[in-house]
Amino acid sequence: MFTGIITDVGTIAALQQDGDLRARITTGYDTTGIDMGASIASDGVCLTVVGLGPDWYEVQISAETVDKTNLGNWTQGRRVNLERALKVGDELGGHIVSGHVDGVAEVVAMAEEGDSTRVTLRAPKELARFIAPKGSVALNGTSLTVNEVNGCDFGINFIPHTKEVTTWGDVQVGDRINLEIDTLARYVARLAEMS
Protein backbone atom coordinates (compact mmCIF):
# COMPACT_ATOMS: atom_id res chain seq x y z
CA MET A 1 0.00 0.00 0.00
CA PHE A 2 1.03 3.58 -0.69
CA THR A 3 -0.22 7.09 0.12
CA GLY A 4 0.27 8.89 -3.19
CA ILE A 5 2.79 11.26 -1.58
CA ILE A 6 5.81 11.22 -3.89
CA THR A 7 9.07 10.94 -1.95
CA ASP A 8 11.59 10.92 -4.80
CA VAL A 9 11.80 11.53 -8.54
CA GLY A 10 13.90 8.87 -10.23
CA THR A 11 15.28 8.61 -13.75
CA ILE A 12 15.05 5.68 -16.15
CA ALA A 13 18.73 4.76 -16.58
CA ALA A 14 18.27 1.66 -18.76
CA LEU A 15 15.55 -0.43 -20.38
CA GLN A 16 15.97 -3.97 -21.64
CA GLN A 17 13.36 -6.13 -23.36
CA ASP A 18 14.24 -9.73 -22.52
CA GLY A 19 11.00 -11.66 -22.20
CA ASP A 20 9.58 -9.08 -19.79
CA LEU A 21 10.67 -5.43 -19.78
CA ARG A 22 13.42 -4.71 -17.25
CA ALA A 23 14.05 -1.14 -16.09
CA ARG A 24 16.88 0.36 -14.06
CA ILE A 25 15.78 3.45 -12.14
CA THR A 26 18.25 5.80 -10.44
CA THR A 27 17.04 7.14 -7.13
CA GLY A 28 17.95 9.34 -4.21
CA TYR A 29 16.74 6.62 -1.83
CA ASP A 30 19.35 4.93 0.35
CA THR A 31 19.35 1.63 -1.52
CA THR A 32 21.07 -0.17 1.40
CA GLY A 33 17.66 0.12 3.10
CA ILE A 34 15.77 -1.47 0.21
CA ASP A 35 15.32 -5.25 0.25
CA MET A 36 15.18 -7.44 -2.82
CA GLY A 37 11.48 -8.09 -3.44
CA ALA A 38 10.43 -4.75 -1.94
CA SER A 39 7.59 -2.85 -3.60
CA ILE A 40 8.21 0.65 -4.96
CA ALA A 41 5.51 2.60 -6.77
CA SER A 42 7.10 3.89 -9.96
CA ASP A 43 4.81 6.39 -11.74
CA GLY A 44 2.07 4.86 -9.62
CA VAL A 45 2.68 1.25 -10.60
CA CYS A 46 3.58 -1.12 -7.77
CA LEU A 47 6.76 -2.83 -9.01
CA THR A 48 8.96 -5.42 -7.34
CA VAL A 49 12.66 -4.72 -6.85
CA VAL A 50 14.71 -7.44 -8.60
CA GLY A 51 18.13 -5.76 -8.61
CA LEU A 52 19.95 -3.16 -6.50
CA GLY A 53 22.98 -0.93 -6.86
CA PRO A 54 24.48 2.03 -4.99
CA ASP A 55 21.99 4.58 -6.39
CA TRP A 56 19.57 2.47 -8.45
CA TYR A 57 17.11 -0.37 -8.36
CA GLU A 58 15.79 -2.62 -11.11
CA VAL A 59 12.27 -3.88 -11.73
CA GLN A 60 10.81 -6.47 -14.07
CA ILE A 61 7.62 -5.37 -15.83
CA SER A 62 5.24 -7.95 -17.28
CA ALA A 63 3.55 -7.57 -20.66
CA GLU A 64 0.21 -7.20 -18.82
CA THR A 65 1.55 -4.20 -16.87
CA VAL A 66 3.00 -2.62 -20.02
CA ASP A 67 -0.38 -3.10 -21.74
CA LYS A 68 -2.48 -1.58 -18.92
CA THR A 69 -0.23 1.39 -18.00
CA ASN A 70 1.94 4.06 -19.61
CA LEU A 71 5.15 2.15 -18.80
CA GLY A 72 5.43 1.12 -22.46
CA ASN A 73 6.19 4.82 -23.13
CA TRP A 74 9.17 4.85 -20.77
CA THR A 75 12.42 5.94 -22.40
CA GLN A 76 15.93 6.29 -21.08
CA GLY A 77 16.28 9.63 -19.27
CA ARG A 78 12.57 9.95 -18.42
CA ARG A 79 11.82 11.17 -14.90
CA VAL A 80 9.39 9.07 -12.82
CA ASN A 81 7.53 9.63 -9.56
CA LEU A 82 8.63 7.25 -6.80
CA GLU A 83 7.14 6.17 -3.47
CA ARG A 84 8.29 3.44 -1.09
CA ALA A 85 5.63 1.17 0.39
CA LEU A 86 3.74 2.39 3.45
CA LYS A 87 4.97 1.10 6.82
CA VAL A 88 2.94 0.83 10.01
CA GLY A 89 3.18 4.19 11.78
CA ASP A 90 3.88 6.22 8.62
CA GLU A 91 1.91 9.41 8.08
CA LEU A 92 -0.99 8.96 5.66
CA GLY A 93 -0.81 12.34 3.95
CA GLY A 94 -2.61 11.45 0.72
CA HIS A 95 -5.11 8.60 0.41
CA ILE A 96 -4.85 4.81 0.30
CA VAL A 97 -3.26 3.87 -3.04
CA SER A 98 -2.67 0.24 -4.05
CA GLY A 99 -0.32 0.78 -6.98
CA HIS A 100 -2.68 -1.26 -9.16
CA VAL A 101 -3.36 1.07 -12.08
CA ASP A 102 -6.93 0.93 -13.42
CA GLY A 103 -6.25 2.54 -16.78
CA VAL A 104 -4.60 5.39 -18.62
CA ALA A 105 -5.97 8.94 -18.81
CA GLU A 106 -4.88 11.53 -21.37
CA VAL A 107 -3.96 15.16 -20.72
CA VAL A 108 -6.34 17.11 -23.01
CA ALA A 109 -5.83 20.71 -21.83
CA MET A 110 -3.66 22.88 -19.60
CA ALA A 111 -4.09 26.45 -18.39
CA GLU A 112 -2.16 28.65 -15.98
CA GLU A 113 -4.30 29.93 -13.07
CA GLY A 114 -2.29 32.29 -10.89
CA ASP A 115 0.80 30.38 -9.77
CA SER A 116 -0.92 27.03 -10.34
CA THR A 117 -1.62 24.95 -13.43
CA ARG A 118 -5.08 23.54 -14.19
CA VAL A 119 -4.76 20.23 -16.05
CA THR A 120 -7.77 18.60 -17.72
CA LEU A 121 -7.56 14.86 -18.24
CA ARG A 122 -9.82 12.43 -20.10
CA ALA A 123 -10.48 9.12 -18.36
CA PRO A 124 -11.53 5.93 -20.11
CA LYS A 125 -15.34 5.79 -20.19
CA GLU A 126 -15.50 2.71 -17.96
CA LEU A 127 -13.53 4.52 -15.22
CA ALA A 128 -15.06 8.00 -15.48
CA ARG A 129 -18.04 7.05 -13.33
CA PHE A 130 -15.71 6.50 -10.36
CA ILE A 131 -14.32 10.06 -10.49
CA ALA A 132 -16.19 12.67 -8.44
CA PRO A 133 -15.61 16.36 -7.69
CA LYS A 134 -13.54 16.76 -4.51
CA GLY A 135 -12.78 13.02 -4.59
CA SER A 136 -9.32 11.52 -4.78
CA VAL A 137 -7.44 9.94 -7.67
CA ALA A 138 -3.86 8.78 -8.07
CA LEU A 139 -2.24 10.05 -11.27
CA ASN A 140 1.26 8.74 -12.03
CA GLY A 141 1.27 7.77 -8.36
CA THR A 142 0.42 11.23 -7.02
CA SER A 143 -2.57 11.57 -4.67
CA LEU A 144 -4.67 14.41 -6.06
CA THR A 145 -8.04 16.06 -5.47
CA VAL A 146 -10.45 16.31 -8.39
CA ASN A 147 -11.76 19.84 -8.94
CA GLU A 148 -14.51 19.25 -11.48
CA VAL A 149 -15.91 16.48 -13.66
CA ASN A 150 -17.55 16.87 -17.06
CA GLY A 151 -18.39 13.49 -18.58
CA CYS A 152 -15.09 11.65 -19.02
CA ASP A 153 -13.05 14.84 -18.47
CA PHE A 154 -11.87 15.95 -15.05
CA GLY A 155 -9.69 18.78 -13.78
CA ILE A 156 -6.81 18.85 -11.33
CA ASN A 157 -5.08 21.97 -10.00
CA PHE A 158 -1.30 21.68 -9.52
CA ILE A 159 0.31 24.09 -7.06
CA PRO A 160 3.97 25.09 -7.59
CA HIS A 161 5.20 22.75 -4.81
CA THR A 162 3.66 19.69 -6.49
CA LYS A 163 5.15 20.66 -9.84
CA GLU A 164 8.60 21.03 -8.22
CA VAL A 165 8.74 17.76 -6.23
CA THR A 166 7.08 15.47 -8.81
CA THR A 167 7.14 15.06 -12.57
CA TRP A 168 4.00 17.20 -12.93
CA GLY A 169 6.13 20.19 -13.89
CA ASP A 170 7.04 18.26 -17.08
CA VAL A 171 3.50 17.36 -18.19
CA GLN A 172 2.23 18.27 -21.65
CA VAL A 173 -1.04 17.97 -23.56
CA GLY A 174 -1.24 14.50 -25.09
CA ASP A 175 0.67 12.77 -22.26
CA ARG A 176 -0.70 9.40 -21.15
CA ILE A 177 -1.07 9.23 -17.37
CA ASN A 178 -1.48 6.19 -15.10
CA LEU A 179 -4.87 6.44 -13.36
CA GLU A 180 -5.84 4.65 -10.18
CA ILE A 181 -9.33 5.40 -8.97
CA ASP A 182 -10.05 5.77 -5.27
CA THR A 183 -10.69 2.42 -3.58
CA LEU A 184 -13.62 3.88 -1.63
CA ALA A 185 -15.26 5.08 -4.87
CA ARG A 186 -14.92 1.59 -6.31
CA TYR A 187 -16.68 0.00 -3.32
CA VAL A 188 -19.42 2.63 -3.19
CA ALA A 189 -20.16 2.05 -6.89
CA ARG A 190 -20.22 -1.71 -6.37
CA LEU A 191 -22.64 -1.39 -3.44
CA ALA A 192 -24.89 0.88 -5.50
CA GLU A 193 -24.95 -1.73 -8.29
CA MET A 194 -26.06 -4.40 -5.83
CA SER A 195 -28.91 -2.30 -4.39
Q: What is the DSSP string of 77-124?
A: T-EEEEEEPP-TT----S--B-S---EEEEEEEEEEETTEEEEEEE--
Q: Read off the pLDDT of residues 14-72 as tens digits, 9 standing for 90 and up.
A: 999 988 999 999 999 999 999 999 999 999 999 999 999 999 999 999 999 999 999 99
Identify the pLDDT of residue 59.
97
Q: Give the residue extent of every domain in the chain.
A: 8-84, 103-194
Q: In sequence order, which residues have a C-beta less than 8 Å from that of residue 9 and are 6 or more positions away?
A: 79, 80, 81, 82, 165, 166, 167
The span from the CA of 53 to the CA of 37, in Å, is 14
Q: Read off the pLDDT of residues 59-85 as tens digits, 9 standing for 90 and up.
A: 999 999 999 999 999 999 999 999 999
Q: In sequence order, which residues have a C-beta less than 8 Å from that of residue 140 and are 6 or more positions away?
A: 43, 44, 70, 80, 81, 166, 167, 168, 177, 178
Identify the pLDDT of residue 128.
94
Q: Read off the pLDDT of residues 127-178 as tens digits, 9 standing for 90 and up.
A: 999 999 999 999 999 999 999 999 999 999 999 999 999 999 999 999 999 9
Q: Which CATH class is domain 103-194?
A: mainly beta
Question: Quick one: fold of 8-84?
Answer: Elongation Factor Tu (Ef-tu); domain 3 (2.40.30)
Q: How many CB atoms lie within 10 A of CB 193?
A: 7
